[in-house]
Every structure is written in structure tokens, then in C-alpha cells.
Structure 1
Amino acid sequence: MLRDDINNALKEAMKAKDERKIATLRMINSTFKNADIEARATGKTLSDADLLPVLQKMIKQRQESKELYEKGGRPELAQQEGEEIAIISSYLPKQMSDAEVTAAIDAAIAETGAASMKDMGKVVGALKSKFAGQMDFAKASALVKQKLGG
């Protein structure tokens, strides 16, 4: 379904002659194909849920590039990266608010019976299985660590 949405958006962008969107969507498709090839080696086929981390990684790369361009005095390239981030982000599920993340962490701690830092992996694993693509797991991990007294 995610691939279909991207391909349909690519067709629309081509009709509208939106060069930035065309290039970004083609880049997403190319990255997906590379991920498919890697997964095929293990005999796995990628679902939409498997592709969400790929999109998140692409966004993270662009954010890093944008910061470097801004520091290097290249505002036009920083703007280009920002536009790509916006296009890629539109295909991710809605991100959870801080309050929702905290509530999800509390629920996962209660659900897994976590009591100490030894249980952090269980809690983060439970969060990843339920909320893939909806929260920043680096921030969530830090919150879990804080709640478990680490």
C-alpha cells in the first residue's frame, strides 16, 4: 500500500512537473528496491511496516545533511534537504506526542512487569512492536532508562 501511494504520487508529480517531488519519490523507490534486494538474501519480503524504518533513516540522513549545509553556508542546499524531508515525512504515520509516548512507555513497563534496567530491552521491544514508525525510539529509550532508574 505504501509503495502504491508513492507510485501514484510520483505519477501526479510527473503530471504537475514538480521536479523536487519527482526526484525525491524516485529516490524513495530506489531505496526500497535496495532494501528488497537485501531482504531477498535472507528470504524475506518487506511489508509496509518493514519499510517505515527505511523512511526514518532517509529523514535522519537528510536532517544531518541539512545541518551541515547550514553550518557550511549553503542555504540553497539546506532548503533542498528540508523539502525532501517534508516529502518523505508525508509517508510516515503520524508521530506520537510527548504525552502519548510517555503513556505508551508507562503501559509497556506495566505490561512487561519491568522493574529494573535489566528489563529495558523487553520494554523497548514491546514499544517497537506496537508503535513502529510512530515514535523516535532514541528518545523513547532514554525515557525508559530514566523511568527504570538508569
Structure 2
Amino acid sequence: MTTLKAKLHDDLTTAIKARDELRSSTLRLTLSAISYEETAGKAARELSDDEVLKVLTREAKKRREAAEAFDKGGRPDQAERERAEGEILAAYLPAQLSDEELAAIVAEAVAEAKAGGAEGPKAMGAVMKIVNPKVAGRAEGSRVAAEVKRLLAG
């Protein structure tokens, strides 16, 4: 078992013993998503910590989107619960990059792509290939894409 998955299991046990319903249900759903990911495909396999991190990131994003949808639908109580679940999951994710840090990484990648001959908005794919490994798990894809577009247009 990977260290991150083991930590999730340990924290689930602690939450159950403490009768923390919110934390235990959130961790159960997350571990279920991880188990599903492990059994999806042709053969069952053990996920690496990086793959578990991707599942956690996806689950946290689902919570953010659900909270927005509940807000728009006039269900603030459900939105608040989704936000609380998102905060629990955020504790397991690496710290997010600030806008300044993200801009610096993207600017470096744009310069690298332009040195390689990529120009204008068509260079987006080349820049994203350079940026994504550097920001993996520390910035949401939509934030990265928006920053790349902004720098390529300017």
C-alpha cells in the first residue's frame, strides 16, 4: 500500500473512532474512488502516490464544482458541506502555487517554447507540455491554461 493511501486509511480509522461523520464519509468516498481507479481497466493494480494524488485532486475539484452548483441552485447548506469536504481533501494535496509563482513558471516555459520555434497562440500545446510536469498537482489546469493564453497573447 502506498504511503498516501495508508495515511488516508489511518485517518479514516481515527475519524470513525472520533465519530467525525463529515471526515469519515469524505475519506470513505475518496478511498472508494481510489479503489475504483485501481480496478478500472484490464488488470487490477496498485496506484502509486502520484496516481493517488491525481485521484485526490479530481475529488477535490468535484467538491468545488458541486459547491458552486449548489450555490447557484439555492442550496447553501449542501454547498457548505461540499466546501467542508473539499477542505478535508485539500489537507492531503500539495500547497497550490500562487499566481506569481505560476506566472513565473509559465513565462519560463513560453520563453523555452519560443526558443524551440513555437510562435503565437499555436504554441499553446508546446508550452503546456513544458508547464504541466512542473506544476502537476499544484495548480488547476484551467488556471495554467488561462495564464499560458495570457502570456502568448501578450
Give the TM-score, by structure 2 length: 0.85
- CA shift in 2, pair 1:74/1:118, >3 Å: closer
Q: Which residue of 2 aligns with 1:52?
A: 53
Q: Which residue of 1 aligns with 2:64?
A: 63
Distance 1:28 1:94 in 2: 19
CA-based RMSD: 2.1
Range 10-19 or range 49-58, more displaced: 49-58
Superposed counterparts of 1:68-83, under 5 Å = 68-83=69-84
Kindly, what percent of the aligned residue pairs are identical? Answer: 36
Q: Which residue of 1 aligns with 2:135?
A: 131
Q: Which residue of 2 aligns with 1:96?
A: 97
Paired positions, count: 149
1:46-68 deviation digits (Å, cap 9, x = unpaired): 32222333222222222222223
Range 140-149 or range 113-122, more displaced: 113-122
Give the TM-score, by structure 1 length: 0.87
Distance 2:33 2:146 in 1: 29
Q: Which residue of 1 aligns with 2:146?
A: 142
Code of the residue aligned with 2:63 in structure 1: it is R
Distance 1:43 1:25 in 2: 21
Regions of 4+ moved over 4 Å: 42-45
Q: Which residue of 2 aligns with 1:118?
A: 122
Code of the residue aligned with 1:147 in structure 2: it is L
Distance 1:90 1:31 in 2: 17
1:62-99 deviation digits (Å, cap 9, x = unpaired): 22222232233322212211111111111111000000
Partner secondary structure for residue 41 of structure 1: coil
Distance 1:43 1:27 in 2: 19
Distance 1:17 1:30 in 2: 19
Deviation at 1:146, TM superposition (A): 2.1
Return the match for 2:8 from 6, 9, 12.
Answer: 6
